[in-house]
A and B are shown apart, each in its own frame.
Chain A
Amino acid sequence: MADANTPKPSSSVKLVLLGEAAVGKSSLVLRFVNNDFQENKEPTIGAAFLTQKCNLPTRTIKFEIWDTAGQERFASLAPMYYRNAQAALVVYDLTKPTSLIKAKHWVAELQRQASPGIVIALVGNKLDLTSDSAGSAEVSGDGDDNAEDSGDARKISTEEAKTYAEEEGLLFFETSAKTGHNVTEVFTAIANAIPETSLKSARGPGASHAGASRTEEQRVNLNGPRDPNAKEGCAC
């Protein structure tokens, strides 16, 4: 995803990760952003958020990806976290049934609290631990009902999660952050699903850094006048 001879309209999109601890939220992002994977990754530390561009034919979406920073572990995620998010990745571990229950809880919470029009993708991660890890598990694909093979740790069938996603109007993917399977596809699908209109009214700190919403005169940039170096770290 790297051609930019002709400048395309570019917009920032706040994307939040949600899901039970240890389902691979950070690993998915690491795969998407750095094309990297770390076995036994320590719980997330140290980054406010990561950014990654997604080039679409007619526009560029710059994802500003917020990690939970572990605050989901004891059900202590702050509402500020998903305020003004335009997209959410709700992740479960397809080898762990409780994680889908938790994912459904987050979907309900987002539908109740988040901005209307938020694009939600339900993602079953750790496909590499299942017998269909060879790569035949496209969402729209067929023939992934062989979940009973030996050595298969899958506990949640594609059908079950997919049906739920359709009922709730969510995007749905099964991924492996370890192999990279379907990871870029998730983010591209989200980027495509974000309506133009919501980009124009993009809000949130990142959006204002990008100059996307400077219409309201009284909004202040605290990093501005006092510290001219403050911007250098800004990802935008």
Chain B
Amino acid sequence: MADEIAKEYDVIVLGTGLTECILSGVLSVKGKKVLHIDRNDHYGGEAASVNLETLFKKYGNYTAGTEPWKQYGRPNDWNIDLVPKFLMSSGELTNILVSTDVTRYLEFKQVAGSYVQQGAGSKATIAKVPSDAAEALRSPLMGIFEKRRMKSFIEWVGEFDPKNSATHKGLDMSKCTMKEVFEKFSLETGTKDFVGHAMALYLNDNYLDTPGGAPETIERIKLYGQSVARYGKSPYIYPLYGLGELPQGFARLSAIYGGTYMLNTSVDELVYENGKAVGIKATMAGVEPEMKFETRAKMILGDPSYFPDKVKVVGHVLRAICILKHPLASTNDADSCQLIIPQSQVGRKNDIYIACVSSAHNVCPKGYWIAIVSTIAETSANHHLELAPGIERLGKIEEQFMPLEDGRSDNIFISKSYDATSHFETSTEDVKDIYRRCAGEELVVEGLREGIQMSQE
């Protein structure tokens, strides 16, 4: 079997997370000869979706010999994301899916609602994030005068053109901060909070004071509005059977264009010549006998866990995966939703996100909901306490799992690992960045489709 591995590839990709699989897919379509390896026996790395048995065994209150998952139906009816995220329906990942025709392998459904919390504890209000002027006028998040200010702000965002200074309200967009823009419209703190965190999807308040940062924020708000407008209910869509389907879809794209896939394969050594990585020595397990091989490549890329010496920890993402038998309160019994608790509402520096999905997306049996609460750790002490404002939104919890990182190199979250955001815009920026560096050109996704053969007929 080892003789089926070429002596040299254009690119070796390590790890089958979403970023790596998109890159493999795109590089294969562009004619590169790709070898794609993962040490696990499944696709997705830390972005995989796992079944309930696996989740219990990895992170649960599980005593050997017991089978607590049995009370929740067939374990395989569960596809639980370890890293919760939604796609923005007009976002870049959606563009990539459409341009590469990976949409042929996956099905998506809308996420039923996008909500934001105002206030904390028993005084908290949960309300739909208003996405257009009409919704702003109906929203309980604002008083009567604020609603009008918000309406004129949203209308202005719609007209904003970064190249046309007539639409800049007299502000110098190259220098001014978003805070100054908000001041121009006299928006209240609570409004700024949901605009910045639930629409522009910033995780903290740093964006407010970035000079020249206003156009980016405005683009993000626009993206939110366009994404809502696309299908109606929320800006988010989500694949049936969970996020783990995404890397598999792109891996298939790569394979269709000649990419070679090897799971269960660990890298024993990166081979360097003159300070440059030129190949790998690796072992494929799960076959008898295990297969050792060596191959070369012009380029090697991979997720951080394959380069433990080259990455540094920049933060820990805290998550609690909770199994519920009811939808989230105040979400109109949504079968799926996102609820953002902006940091300042609960005295934190980082937002708390709750992503909730259910059998509507084929991730669990009927009658169950999966809610994942996440945030970025601000202390090293009590992670439970940090997630508490989110967890208290969930009501009765049947089971709770906390995939806590133990600091081992294969689990650390580094800058370009999956962050705490609940959408993929940052991941696709990473894809574009890596592509630019390894292919020496910008990744243009429109037109990728030209090179793709349609099925016959």
Contact surface of A with B, Cβ cutoff 8 Å: 21, 33-34, 44-51, 64, 68-71, 73-76, 78-81, 83, 113, 203-206, 208, 216, 218-220, 222-223, 225-227, 230, 233-235
Q: Report how far A203 CA is from B103 CA in the complex, Å.
A: 14
A50-B456, A233-B454 known; A222-B262 Cβ under 8 A: no
* Inter-chain contact B241/A71, CB cutoff 8 Å: no
Q: Cβ of B251 and Cβ of A78 under 8 Å apart? A: yes
Q: Count B-side interface residues using an 8 Å CB cutoff.
A: 50
Closest to A62 in B: B457
B255 at the binding interface (Cβ < 8 Å): yes
Are B230 and A225 in contact, CB atoms less than 8 angstroms apart?
yes
- Counting CB contacts under 8 A, is B112 at the interface? yes
Q: Is the CB of A74 within 8 A of B256?
A: no
- Closest residue of chain A to B95 (Cβ to Cβ) is A226
B103 touches A235 (CB 8 A): no
Nearest CB to that of B98 among chain A residues?
A: A222
Answer whether residue B127 sits at the interface, using C-beta atoms and an 8 A cutoff: no
Contact pick for B257, options A45, A49, A68, A233, CB 8 Å: A45
Q: Are A220 and B89 in contact (CB under 8 A)?
A: yes
**Residues B263 and A235 in contact, CB atoms below 8 Å apart:** no
Contact B112 A83 (CB under 8 A): no
**Bound Cα distance from A111 to B255, whole angstroms:** 25
By a beta-carbon cutoff of 8 Å, the part of chain B in contact with chain A is 1, 4, 42-43, 76, 89-90, 94, 97-98, 101, 103-110, 112, 230-231, 233, 237, 241, 245, 248-249, 251-252, 255-258, 260-265, 284, 286-287, 360, 452-457
B455 to A71, Cβ gap below 8 A? no
Closest to B230 in A: A225
In the bound complex, how far is the Cα of B251 from the Cα of A234, in angstroms?
21
Chain B residues within an 8 Å CB radius of A226: 90, 98, 230
For residue A46, which residues in chain B have a CB less than 8 angstroms away from its CB? 256-257, 453
Contact status B284-A74, CB under 8 Å: yes
The answer on a CB contact under 8 Å between A80 and B255 is no
Which B residue's beta carbon lies closest to that of A79? B248
Q: How many A-B residue pairs have CB under 8 A?
A: 126
User: Within 8 Å CB of A220, what residues of B?
Assistant: 89, 108-110, 231, 237
Assuming the contacts A45-B257, A230-B98, asked whether A74 and B454 have C-beta atoms less than 8 A apart, the reply is: no
Contact B456 A69 (CB under 8 A): no
B257 adjacent to A74 (CB under 8 Å): no
- A47 CA to B453 CA, complexed, in Å: 6
Residue of B nearest to A33 (CB): B456
Contact across chains for A80 and B360 when beta carbons are under 8 A apart: no
Residue pair B456, A208 in contact (C-beta under 8 Å): no
Q: Are B455 and A48 in contact (CB under 8 A)?
A: yes
Residues of B within 8 A of A64 (CB): 455
Which residues in B have their C-beta under 8 angstroms from that of A205?
103-107
Instruction: Decide: A218 and B112 in contact? CB cutoff 8 A.
Output: yes
In the assembled complex, the CB of B161 is this many whole angstroms from the nearest CB of chain A, namely 21
Note all chain A residues with C-beta closer than 8 A to B452.
Answer: 48
Residue in A21, A44, A51 whose CB lies within 8 Å of B457: A51
- Determine if A222 and B453 form an interchain contact, defined as CB atoms under 8 angstroms apart: no
B43 touches A47 (CB 8 A): no
Q: B89 — which chain A residues lie within 8 A by C-beta?
A: 220, 222
Pairwise interchain contact B255-A71, C-beta atoms closer than 8 A: yes
Residues on the A chain within 8 Å of B105, using CB: 48, 80, 205
Further 7 A-B residue pairs, CB within 8 A, beyond A21-B4, A216-B109: A45-B256, A47-B256, A47-B453, A80-B245, A80-B252, A83-B241, A222-B97
**28 A-B pairs with C-beta separation under 8 A:** A44-B256, A46-B256, A46-B453, A47-B455, A48-B452, A48-B453, A50-B456, A51-B457, A70-B261, A73-B4, A74-B262, A75-B263, A75-B286, A76-B261, A76-B263, A78-B248, A78-B252, A79-B248, A80-B249, A216-B109, A218-B110, A219-B107, A220-B89, A220-B108, A227-B98, A230-B98, A235-B454, A235-B456
